[in-house]
Amino acid sequence: MGNLCLGKPVELASASSSIPSKVVLKSNDSSDFNSSSNGSSVSTLSSHQSTSHPIPIAALKAFTLNDLKAATKNFRSDSYLGEGGFGCVYKGWIDENTHAPTKPGVGIVVAIKKLKQESIQGHKEWLAEVTYLGQFHHENLVKLIGYCSEADKKLLVYEYMPRGSLENHLFKRGVQPISWATRVNVAIDVARGLSFLHSLEPPVIYRDLKASNVLLVSDFTAKLSDFGLARNGPTGDKTHVSTRIVGTRGYAAPEYIATGHLTVKSDVYSFGVVLLELMSGKRSLDEDRGGMEEALVDWAKPFLGNQRKMVRIMDTRLEGQYVKKAAQTLASVAEECLHADPKSRPSMAEVLAAIEELQAPRNTPRSSKGTPSHSLQRYKP
Ligand SMILES: Nc1ncnc2c1ncn2[C@@H]1O[C@H](COP(=O)(O)OP(=O)(O)OP(=O)(O)O)[C@@H](O)[C@H]1O
Ligand SMILES: [Mg+2]
């Protein structure tokens, strides 16, 4: 049986598309390697690579293509999970210990991402993903189990994230809206993932934070996926790295789009956008606001600093079931993250410290309905 992978275009999405997708935001610099602000050139991945071997990660399982065909019933349509710029994603089954392919229902479920044949950029993204996710382990980063590299066939095998992406839970029609408590917890989880990456030496800039790259497990713990655009941040006294400008419209920081100068503060800006999406239930770019495409940031900014007006940005599907004080905290954090001057934005560690105490117990109901706001207890983890 055939599969559904139709090869969704990755780059230069139509300006009228209401679904944000990964684009080359400007391509005046064709190099995808970091060059530091003092002009010296370093390989994008070198500092976090343990050896010069293209696949340095011993802990990862090297799958054969036949293994992954067997695990997905030959990438059959009923195994299909979704599609992104990199390619299609399928659900598969492998043995928990040996990682050998098994029958559906036996062993553990995995998500298998298959690189589209025609994607040249995809090969770099595949290597970045293997290199970064293969060595970083954190509860808020999706676990990479293994990879397959056979000639031009490149695949990635991840832990399966049963609740799919945050994008689906916030924006998909017909999906029950997630509760306020879940939204706050997702924000904290994402902040934890980013803080971890930024705390590394050299720091890792994620560069592709967006609702579709935040995946959820059963209790709605959120994890960052997709490290294809991740880059090492500046080291020593360098202020930024310069790279080809890639990212997703509506999420990328304005100074990065304008100059190509990438810093950890680019991620902080994108975090501010995701915070707005969590609060408003609106996409970062949407044609429906004001009749023409308008950025959520431009629409929401005037309300953020004003406690009375702030209510206007809140998702009406929450039906008022949110903790006002927590919403105010998130609004003021979002405002700081979205500061036009990257130097004035807080670090992710500061963001985390500001929002961590808002954390609610896990397993709160998905729907806001029937969840009185006073029942959203707080505790310090
Ligand atoms: N580990 C996973 N577990 C479960 N579902 C997944 C997993 N990884 C991806 N998916 C699903 O597959 C779909 C495609 O994901 P993918 O990351 O390829 O694209 P995207 O995030 O929508 O776009 P982009 O290519 O810009 O990142 C998404 O809808 C996501 O829900
Ligand atoms: Mg993705």
Residue 41 lies in a domain: no
Residue 181 lies in a domain: yes
Rounded distance, CA 209 to CA 26, Å?
A: 18
Q: Is 61 exposed, middle or buried (0-12, 13-18, 19+ CB in 10 A)?
A: middle
Residue 52 lies in a domain: no
Residues 326, 234 within the same domain: yes
Q: Pick from 333, 340, 194, 322: which is nearest to 258 by CA?
A: 340
Over residues 76-108, the pLDDT tens digits come to: 999 999 998 889 999 999 999 999 999 989 999
This prediction has a pTM of 0.84
Residues 122, 185 within the same domain: no
CB 137 within 8 A of CB 143: yes
Q: What pLDDT, on the 0 to 100 scale, is given for residue 289? A: 55
Active site residues: 208
CB 102 within 8 A of CB 163: no
Point out the ligand 1 atom lying closest to the alpha carbon of residue 160: 3
| Residue positions forming the annotated binding site for ATP | 114
Residues 351, 259 within the same domain: yes
| Residue positions forming the annotated binding site | 114
Point out the ligand 1 atom lying closest to the alpha carbon of residue 228: 27
Residues 173, 304 within the same domain: yes
Give the domain CATH number at 266: 1.10.510.10
Joined tokens for residue 358: 């808002």
Residue 374 lies in a domain: no
How many structural domains compose the chain? 2
Rounded distance, CA 378 to CA 64, Å?
A: 47
Is 49's C-beta closer than 6 angstroms to any atom of ligand 1? no
In sequence order, the 6+-apart residues with CB closer than 8 A to the CB of 235 are 36, 47, 201, 202
Residue 129 φ then ψ, to 5°: -60, -45
Residues 151, 169 within the same domain: no
Residues 219, 70 within the same domain: no
Point out the ligand 1 atom lying closest to the alpha carbon of residue 159: 1
Q: Nearest C-alpha to atom 17 of ligand 1 is from which residue?
A: 84
Rounded distance, CA 112 to CA 71, Å?
A: 9
Q: Nearest C-alpha to atom 6 of ligand 1 is from which residue?
A: 164
Look at residues 127, 159, 191 and tell me which one is the last residue of a structural domain.
Answer: 159
Is 246's C-beta closer than 6 angstroms to any atom of ligand 1? no
Rounded distance, CA 357 to CA 109, Å?
A: 33
Is 359's C-beta closer than 6 angstroms to any atom of ligand 1? no
Residue ranges of the chain whose pLDDT lies below 70:
1-58, 287-293, 363-381
Residues 179, 193 within the same domain: yes
Is 215's C-beta closer than 6 angstroms to any atom of ligand 1? yes
Residue 73 φ then ψ, to 5°: 55, 50
Residue 248 lies in a domain: yes
The residue range of the domain holding 204 is: 164-357
Give the domain CATH number at 79: 3.30.200.20
Residue 40 lies in a domain: no
Over residues 154-211, the pLDDT tens digits come to: 999 999 999 999 999 999 989 999 999 999 999 999 999 999 999 999 999 999 999 9
